[in-house]
Chain A
């Protein structure tokens, strides 16, 4: 059985949804308070869930990066451990430098909360191994700061190393502007492909009755 550690900061609000999601997929899940300095032993995956850690003060994710547990997460990631950041978790992982780029205020300044079609760009990684390239997924988004920025040099590296995971698209799979992200990027991974970040919420798309089951194959890739 896989052991998942879900981090919880003051202001995190997707910790229990994320716990529910991985338990539904048959995992043993522990919620870890940010003041802890160690991850549970035998952790197979760390998830930094969505929410508004520290009320998004200063910048989204800026304060959370200095919580005690983050040192353990950095060490875990640097030794090859798998880490997934969803929404605010993605913002925290860019702030702490585990993922390249940064997330700015949405181009239209609105908080966007809706189902969004996404196109799988690279499945050559654990996270998206159960998806096909160019496959279109339907997953909810809910964010104000999802406008992904990276400079040209960084972008080249992302492309060359197949680090772009997904892009926002329309139902035909054509890229669309949702929040102003560079080339409509919705998620990326690090160069060693063990740290993943995305703005959409796969943990909210596990059941047809809630609108989509497409999140299942995303999360299953990480626990395969």
Chain B
């Protein structure tokens, strides 16, 4: 099973990298971009076969190290 963890700065926490990308897109005349948020993606290959167990395990990883929950939110996708 593969777990995909997406990590983004929380809503309301200013994202300087997202802002810089937004500025660049504006400068390149790409119109219609309302907001840009930049995050990171961590892909984990798991030995687990049970989805529920895998989700629990990855949630723990995200809380403990993958994300800093003071400033970041995360989503977990299992495939």
Contact = CB atoms under 8 A, between A and B. Distances in A.
A104 B13 contact: yes
A59 B16 contact: no
Nearest to B12: A151
Interface in A52-110: 58-59, 62-63, 65-66, 94-95, 101-102, 104-109
A94 B65 CA distance: 13
Contact of A109 (B13, B17, B65, B66): B17
A196 B14 CA distance: 25
B70 A101 contact: yes
Interface string A150-165: 1100000000000000
A147 B16 contact: yes
Contacts of B65: 58, 62-63, 65-66
A180 interface: yes
Residue of B14, B20, B71 with most partner-chain A CB within 10 A: B71
Nearest to B70: A102
Q: For chain B, what secondary structure do more than half of its interface residues adopt (helix, strand, loop), or is it mixed?
A: mixed
B68 interface: yes
B70 A180 contact: no
Nearest to A95: B68
B68 A62 contact: yes
A149 interface: yes
A153 to B, nearest CB: 12
Contacts of A58: 65-66
Contacts of B20: 109
Contacts of B58: none
The CB with the most chain B CB atoms within 10 A, among A94, A104, A106, is that of A104
Interface of B: 9, 13-14, 16-17, 20, 65-66, 68, 70-71
25 contacts: A58-B65, A62-B68, A63-B65, A66-B65, A95-B68, A101-B70, A102-B68, A102-B70, A104-B9, A104-B14, A104-B16, A104-B71, A105-B17, A106-B16, A107-B16, A108-B16, A109-B16, A109-B17, A147-B16, A149-B13, A149-B70, A149-B71, A150-B70, A180-B14, A180-B16
